[in-house]
Structure formats: C-alpha cells, structure tokens
C-alpha cells in the first residue's frame, strides 16, 4: 500500500527534523533576518508540518508533495509530525512559525474550520494566522450501515432513526472529528435522532459498524471500500457534493433527498500569515504543477483522493464557507471539545 511506503521514512525524517529545528533555533538566536527574497528561495531546508501523525492522509500528502518539491527546489523538505488535540497542536505550531517560507502546513479544511467554533480556547486563528497556498486534494466519506440494519437508502435510515429516537447508534473517530460532524450534520438537516458512540480513530470505528456494535457511520471511502466489496457493510451514499470516481454508481447524500448536504474533506497547503507574497505565489505555482502530474494523480486515485489545485483566493473562499457551515452544525448539536 502506498501509505506504507512512507511510514518507513518517518524515523529518518524525525532525525533530520531535529537537526533542522536546531539550525532554526541557532539562526534566531543570532538575530538573522527571516525575510528572504523570492529570487534565492529556498536556500535551506523547508519544514512541512502535518498535525495527524505518521501514516495518515495528511502525512502521505506532505511526504509526496514534499518529495516533489525537493526534486524541484534542490532543497530538503522535512515532514514534521505534530499530532494531538484534534490537529490543533500542529496547527498552532505552524501558525506561530516565522513567516519566511521555510515552514509550511498541510491542513484538513473542515477540521480547521470546525475547530474555530468547537474549542473555547485555541492558540491560533485559522483566518488571521495562515496564508492559504492551494487546495491539494479532495476526498469523500461514505454513509454505511452494518449487519444490524437492513436499510438500503439514506431515506430509509432517516425514517428508521426518526421512529426509534436515540436507538440507532452511529460511530465516529472521536468527538469533533469530521466523521462525527458528518453524522451531526445529517441529523441537523433531517431531524433524525441517533446516538453518538465515539471511537479512537477510523479503523476501530469502522470495525465496530461491521461487527454490529453500532449501526451506522460515515468513514472514509478509502477505509470502507474493502468491507463494502466484501459485503460486510452496505454503502448508502457519499458525503461530498459529487459522486466518487472510484464508486460512481453510489449517489451523494444530497442526491438521496437531503438537499444541500456536502461534506467534502478538502486538504490544503498553508503558510504562516505574512509570508512574502512572492514566495506564496511561487509555492502555489510549483504545487499546482505537481498536482497535474499523471503519476501523482494515479497515486491519489489509489487512495480514493482527487487532485484539486486552486488559487489562494479560491482556498480562502472555501475555508470561509466551511467556517460558516460548521458553526451552524456545531451550535445546533451543542458540540464542545477541550
């Protein structure tokens, strides 16, 4: 599996990261200016922070894009895994980094947007503290039911949940995760009343559905597809605004009667706010060129991802829309995270 090829590099990357951080600390102590000219950028290694740990999608994307940027720039791109607190540890570290183009951040747009309303205290502001570079990929989640339910459509699931208040149980990968928010948005838009059962991560949550411990959920399509093909899960619809390329016969939730439903997990590259515009522009051009590579697109497709690419302005527009959407969902569901 493609992700496995990248896990083996994590220990080596960590060692390089330590050296890199010491170099940065030394430079700061010496009072070296951190505002390079775009003409000589980059002239030293670049740190790429991702906030969900080795082996995940953001790690995979950071390493793949980082490898291609290394080839283009002739400078090492060091992936720095900073998992924890629902992604907020890595996000805060990136937001507070020197805005010189030598720290980048791979973020999940819905998670960054939702955190703004979900956490009473955040050490960063996703709007004020980041400059968006580009959208990288989009993915899809899939609404599934396990052997405990015989429903075959979204409308049947909603009707059953309405008739059995809080008796239908859904799993997620944790409170405040996008998989939690996906189901809460479905509840908010349909009036279905289901009981949330959080698990610690995607694999245990989907295993719980297949085993009948819980009834339904919306895992990633990449994770769910083998169990769907094996007949252990029944797929009802995908959560995004359009059908998944790898499962085109499956409708969207919006097509299934819940008009306006859209949870598209966008992944995007960011830099700390006030990074020189010329550097942001250069990174935008280079990453968008990488995303056009047939080999890169094939690698994404194998993971159930689709290359996106955008201008910084388009990324900002999508982020703002996600902030507004999740603020409503979180308020309606009274979701709070610490």
Number of structural domains found in the chain: 2
Share the mean pLDDT of the chain.
87
Residue 243 and residue 250 in contact, taking contact as beta carbons nearer than 8 Å: yes
Domain extent, residue 165, equals 142-263
Exposed, middle or buried, 150 (CB in 10 Å: 0-12/13-18/19+)? Answer: exposed
Say if residue 107 is in the same domain as residue 166.
no
Q: pLDDT at residue 225 above 90?
A: no
pLDDT of res. 54: 78
Q: How many CB atoms lie within 10 A of CB 225?
A: 18
Tell me the average pLDDT across 11-21: 43
Q: Residues of 243-274 as b/e, b for ≥16 C-beta within 10 angstroms?
A: bbebbeebbbbbbbebeebbbbbbbbbbbbee
Say if residue 109 is in the same domain as residue 153.
no
What pLDDT, in 10s, does the model give residues 229-250?
999 999 999 999 999 887 899 9
Q: Which helix (H) or strand (E) holds 25?
A: helix 10-29
pLDDT of res. 68: 97
How far is the first Cα of the chain from the last one, in angstroms, to the nearest whole number? Answer: 34
Give the pLDDT band of residue 220 (cuts 50, 70, 90): confident
Please state, in angstroms and rounded to a whole number, the distance separating the CA atoms of residues 243 and 78. 35
Say if residue 275 is in the same domain as residue 322.
yes
Say if residue 174 is in the same domain as residue 255.
yes
* Domain CATH for 295: 3.40.190.150
pLDDT of res. 174: 82
- Helix, strand, coil shares of the chain, percent, nearest 5, are 45, 15, 35
Tell me the average pLDDT across 182-205: 91
Say if residue 154 is in the same domain as residue 213.
yes
What pLDDT, in 10s, does the model give residues 276-333?
999 999 999 999 999 999 999 999 988 889 999 999 999 999 999 999 999 988 988 8
Which of 263, 278, 298 delimits the end of a domain? 263
Which of 263, 298, 323 delimits the end of a domain? 263
- 337 assigned to some structural domain: no
Widest Cα–Cα separation across the chain? 68
Say if residue 278 is in the same domain as residue 130.
yes
Q: What is the pTM of this model?
A: 0.79
- 338 assigned to some structural domain: no
Distances (CA, A) of 338 to 24, 138, 160: 31, 28, 32
Say if residue 11 is in the same domain as residue 92.
yes
* Residue with more model confidence, 6 or 137: 137
The strand pair at 195-198 and 46-50 is best described as unpaired
- 222 assigned to some structural domain: yes
Say if residue 128 is in the same domain as residue 7.
yes
Say if residue 190 is in the same domain as residue 104.
no
The angle at the Cα of 105, spanning 99 to 106, to the nearest 5 degrees, equals: 160
Say if residue 89 is in the same domain as residue 168.
no
* Residue with more model confidence, 293 or 177: 293
CA atoms within 13 A on the CB side of 43: 9
- 36 assigned to some structural domain: yes
pLDDT of res. 297: 95
* Domain CATH for 248: 3.40.190.10
Give the pLDDT band of residue 338 (cuts 50, 70, 90): low
* Residue with more model confidence, 2 or 224: 224
Say if residue 17 is in the same domain as residue 129.
yes
Say if residue 245 is in the same domain as residue 274.
no
Tell me the average pLDDT across 131-138: 97
Please state, in angstroms and rounded to a whole number, the distance separating the CA atoms of residues 118 and 125. 13
């Amino acid at each position: 599996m493609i992700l496995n090829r990248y896990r083996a590099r994590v220990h080596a990357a960590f060692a390089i990261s330590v050296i890199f951080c010491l170099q940065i600390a030394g430079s700061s102590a010496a009072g070296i200016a951190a505002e390079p000219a775009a003409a000589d950028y980059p002239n030293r290694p670049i740190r790429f922070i991702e906030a969900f740990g080795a082996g995940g999608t953001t790690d995979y994307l950071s390493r793949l894009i980082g490898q291609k940027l290394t080839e283009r720039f002739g400078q090492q791109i060091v992936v720095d895994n900073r998992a924890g607190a629902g992604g907020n540890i890595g996000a805060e570290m990136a937001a507070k980094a020197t805005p010189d183009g030598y720290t980048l951040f791979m973020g999940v747009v819905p998670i960054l947007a939702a955190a703004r309303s979900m956490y009473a205290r955040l050490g960063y502001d996703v709007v004020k503290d980041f400059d968006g570079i580009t959208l990288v990929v989009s993915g899809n989640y899939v609404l599934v039911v396990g052997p405990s339910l015989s429903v075959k459509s979204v409308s049947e699931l909603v009707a059953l949940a309405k008739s059995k208040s809080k008796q239908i149980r859904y799993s997620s990968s944790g409170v405040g995760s996008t998989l939690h928010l996906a189901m809460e948005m479905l509840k908010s838009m349909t009036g279905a009343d289901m009981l949330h059962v959080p698990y610690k991560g995607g694999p245990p949550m989907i295993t719980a559905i297949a085993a009948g411990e819980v009834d339904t959920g919306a895992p990633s399509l990449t994770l769910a597809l083998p169990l769907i093909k094996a007949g252990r899960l029944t797929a009802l619809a995908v959560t995004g605004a359009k059908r998944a390329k790898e499962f085109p016969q499956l409708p969207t939730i919006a097509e299934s009667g819940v008009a306006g439903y859209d949870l598209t997990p966008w992944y995007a590259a960011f830099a700390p706010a006030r990074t020189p515009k010329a550097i942001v522009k250069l990174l935008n051009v280079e990453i968008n060129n990488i995303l056009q590579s047939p080999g890169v697109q094939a690698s994404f497709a194998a993971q159930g991802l689709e290359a996106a690419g955008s201008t910084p302005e388009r990324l900002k527009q999508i982020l703002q829309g996600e902030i507004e959407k999740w603020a409503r969902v979180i308020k309606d569901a009274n979701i709070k995270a610490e």
